[in-house]
Amino acid sequence: MIAIIDYKAGNTASIQNALERLGVKSIITSNIEEIEKADGVIFPGQGRAGQAMDNLRKMGIDKIIPKIKKPFLGICVGMQLLSEYSQEDDTECLSVLPGKCVKFAPPAKTPQIGWNQVKLAKKSALTENIEDNSCFYFANSYYFDADKKYIVGTTDYGIDFPSIVEKDNYFAIQFHPEKSGSVGAKLLNNFCKLC
């Protein structure tokens, strides 16, 4: 069973639908016990970092995310909140992964919306059988400026920014796999195989 964290900032239903198409059982929950009991955890996100962190703190979920030992996948804002700090709303984040989130600088138009390539920097179980330079669907104005040793994949949007990072049992992606067709489904399936 995969727990999809519900903290009023994620596109939880579309993630659950994507997992159902893969034949994977999941639960959308903000219950700490259910999150801790799950075989794996998905942490999706849309919206602003400040409000998302406020919601996590009100629910007490901010305390458990850094302690989870099961496979964990942060998506979009869920990726960014794993960082130490976000420039968006001057937000202290969860400090699971070293680095901070910064806004794309001009002349890059924000938000970046649409398909873009991911260049794979190193092997990962998350990207098994996914071709280098595969396209995924992005919607972001900020990016996670992560420590190089954790970067699995990068994307060019005026600069090369980290779009897949990995540390221990924590995986994080800037794009939306549930909106990325067959290649996104393959990545989600790879994650579920780890759980």
Q: Is 101 a catalytic residue?
A: no
Strands (E), the chain: 2-5, 26-29, 40-43, 72-75, 85-86, 91-92, 99-103, 112-120, 134-140, 142-146, 151-156, 160-167, 170-173
Catalytic choice (88, 93, 166, 176) = 176
Q: Which two tokens stand for residue 167?
A: 């540390």
Catalytic choice (76, 93, 101, 192) = 76
Catalytic choice (34, 178, 192, 195) = 178
Residues serving a catalytic function are 76, 176, 178
